[in-house]
Amino acid sequence: DAGVIQSPRHEVTEMGQEVTLRCKPISGHNSLFWYRQTMMRGLELLIYFNNNVPIDDSGMPEDRFSAKMPNASFSTLKIQPSEPRDSAVYFCASRGQGEQPQHFGDGTRLSIL
């Protein structure tokens, strides 16, 4: 079975550039989550969607961050403009209905120079 697929796996770019991270959830899952992992703050929830609708975006750091889920099989997390402090590993996770755990992708390691 295909798990949660994230792309790219690694991204290195200069500050000020736009960065787009992509996620394909597990087929049939109706909830999707974006997390950020840093040494200082650990794993933080940025935003999550239920049935393609954003439910809670209180974890999004600032207006430079935006996330979309145009359909049940695709989501993006965009940072514009990017800053060095955005450097982190970004994880996407998805979850089915009922008492189901979240399944994580392998993450995107983002470095902003």
Partner 1 sequence: AQSVTQPDIHITVSEGASLELRCNYSYGATPYLFWYVQSPGQGLQLLLKYFSGDTLVQGIKGFEAEFKRSQSSFNLRKPSVHWSDAAEYFCAVLGQAGTALIFGKGTTLSVSS
43 near partner 1, rule: CB under 8 A: yes
Pick from 25, 31, 69, 112: which binds partner 1 (CB under 8 A)? 31
Pick from 65, 82, 86, 91: which binds partner 1 (CB under 8 A)? 91
**What's the one-letter identity of residue 66?**
S
CB of 55 to partner 1, least distance (A): 7
Pick from 22, 64, 78, 103: which binds partner 1 (CB under 8 A)? 103
**Residues of this chain that bind partner 1 (CB under 8 A):** 4, 31, 33, 42-43, 45, 48, 50, 55-56, 91, 93, 95, 99, 101-107, 109
